[in-house]
Chains A and B, each alone.
Chain A
């Protein structure tokens, strides 16, 4: 009887602990994101230039550039590879100042110009405190870090070419607010005499420009990707960008009209990048692959060998000895 009671108590305790664990797990995932889930995973993806037609690029996109303008290294050579390793991420909350400096200013100004502008802004009362007081938006995001090896035809160098941020905004609606705040602040600053005297000005960005810049500079998407991309495009009110499934499509104008299709894989990062001309012929294509399946294959082989060994040992032990 006593033993039964002890067993009952142990089972009850185990159930309670299990319940707490499961509740905690669900609570974490529920509180983590009301709409979209993060699917980033640590690991390495290899980007390969599958196709590049230089003459078509020059006749369609830009006569004086090549894909290296968008992707650093030998991106203009078919068969060149680049490598990206997601190192980790954390939950972050950006305020308007962080968005203004990290997303916009660092993108459109050189380091020297950035310092000049920040100094002027500080002197005319546009510093972190005032901007964050006047524009009270808080933006939740998963901020990841990745190491990138530039495109190369040969072996990769030991150290990565650079590390950069990977941004997954928890709520795509935030991106619209960010752009609106930027436009307001930029208009105010462009009207300031000191900024005008410096010879610098904040660019007037459209939603399409902003999304294009984000897509090229570390935007990753939450899951489900199709819903995330659709909401992103709709909220921004893009004119020349649309989404179909997990693909973002940009209608751009270079020498002639062309489209850029960026597909996002299950990790939420770029899986394919395709540039097409008006007649839908591919000018440039990058695809992403990884070797994780080999790891799982090896694990399966090891597991199968282990099971086989155990079965063999058991079978051998049970067999009556002659």
Chain B
């Protein structure tokens, strides 16, 4: 008797999460073309950076495997950024846009729908990032032999966390924006240009006294930063160059350009998690208040 109850409870649970799986499967099929495109781009970039570029004899191969990965991963922030903006922008706002809330007898709970959509897109973006890392790891193995540097796996873990953080940011925007296109454009502008400009201004004004930990773009630099051995210390560097002879009377001056290389591992991971929780909470609150 108790066994039957247990079985019934399990069945109930499964039936409860079944719509999420259906939505997830549907989303995977729906985003197929976008996924193929990004997968193609990811593999192409990995081949270009990891192999084609190395065919030029005068272009020196990095001395260590970790440096090779670090150079190859310079594009990962662009890839994840564009993928996140294009895959996650329609998660919530497309429902408002298409007025699915007006369906009189909805077959699925709206939270399950959003969760299914989110997980579907997340799986696709994770596969794209994984493919990029796999290709790069393969080329690293070709040029340097085994074993694969353990820090590549750390970097992969940070990249996944970064993808989730980006997705939470885009999902948050998707929760209050009116259309998908608007969400894509606004998130792209903020993530691609906004954060970088803000970082530059902050660094210019505050120098090494204020670390731009608010910036998702800066937190993303941990993906490549974690590959460096030893870990960068100091993490704030200044490049100085003199402009002698460039002034109106042949004089010049000393110019200094500062840059934060990467956050510390602990702080970076912590803030990525904080970002994820914060933006998801905001998105959930906004979604709850906004009538679907």
Contact = CB atoms under 8 A, between A and B. Distances in A.
Interface of A: 40, 42-44, 46, 83, 85-90, 145, 147, 158-160, 163, 290-292, 294-295, 298-299
Given A89-B58, A90-B58, 18 more contacts: A40-B57, A42-B54, A42-B61, A42-B143, A43-B144, A44-B143, A85-B61, A85-B63, A85-B144, A86-B61, A87-B62, A88-B58, A88-B59, A88-B61, A159-B63, A159-B64, A295-B141, A295-B142
Candidate in A90, A294, A295 with the most chain B CB atoms within 10 angstroms:
A295
19 contacts: A40-B57, A42-B57, A42-B143, A43-B142, A43-B143, A44-B144, A44-B145, A85-B143, A88-B57, A88-B61, A147-B64, A158-B229, A160-B63, A291-B141, A292-B142, A295-B141, A295-B142, A298-B138, A298-B141
B205 to A, nearest CB: 36
Interface string B51-81: 0001011111111101000000000000000
B133 to A, nearest CB: 15
A158 B228 CA distance: 10
A163 B63 contact: yes
> In the complex, which range does the number of interface residues on chain B fall in?
10 to 19
Contacts, number: 56
A177 B40 CA distance: 54
A286 B229 CA distance: 30
A83 B64 CA distance: 11
Contact of A291 (B54, B60, B62, B146): B146
Contacts of A85: 61, 63, 143-144
A295 B54 CA distance: 16
A177 B78 CA distance: 54
A46 B145 CA distance: 9
A295 B146 CA distance: 10
B142 A87 contact: no
A242 to B, nearest CB: 32
Given A158-B66, A158-B229, A87 B141 contact: no
Contacts of B63: 85, 87, 147, 159-160, 163
A292 B66 CA distance: 18
A85 B56 CA distance: 16
Contacts of B144: 43-44, 85
B145 A87 contact: no
A281 to B, nearest CB: 32
B55 to A, nearest CB: 9
Nearest to A46: B145
A291 B61 contact: no
A-B complex: 9 closest residue pairs judged by Cβ atoms:
A88-B60, A295-B142, A291-B145, A87-B61, A87-B60, A90-B58, A147-B63, A44-B145, A158-B229
Nearest to B144: A44
B51 to A, nearest CB: 10
Candidate in B58, B62, B145 with the most chain A CB atoms within 10 angstroms:
B145
Nearest to A163: B63
A294 B58 contact: no
Candidate in A42, A43, A147, A290 with the most chain B CB atoms within 10 angstroms:
A42
Interface in B148-193: none
B215 to A, nearest CB: 29
Nearest to A296: B142
A180 B143 CA distance: 39
A291 B144 CA distance: 8
Given A85-B143, A290-B145, A160 B64 contact: yes
A163 B54 CA distance: 18
Nearest to A299: B138
Contacts of A163: 63
Contacts of A86: 61
A138 B141 CA distance: 39
A86 B144 CA distance: 10
B143 to A, nearest CB: 5
A145 B62 CA distance: 11
B68 to A, nearest CB: 10
A155 to B, nearest CB: 10
Contacts of B64: 147, 158-160
Interface string B92-106: 000000000000000
A188 B58 CA distance: 38
Nearest to A298: B138
A44 B147 CA distance: 12
A42 B139 CA distance: 12
B61 A295 contact: no
A265 B145 CA distance: 18
Contacts of B59: 88
Contacts of A46: 145
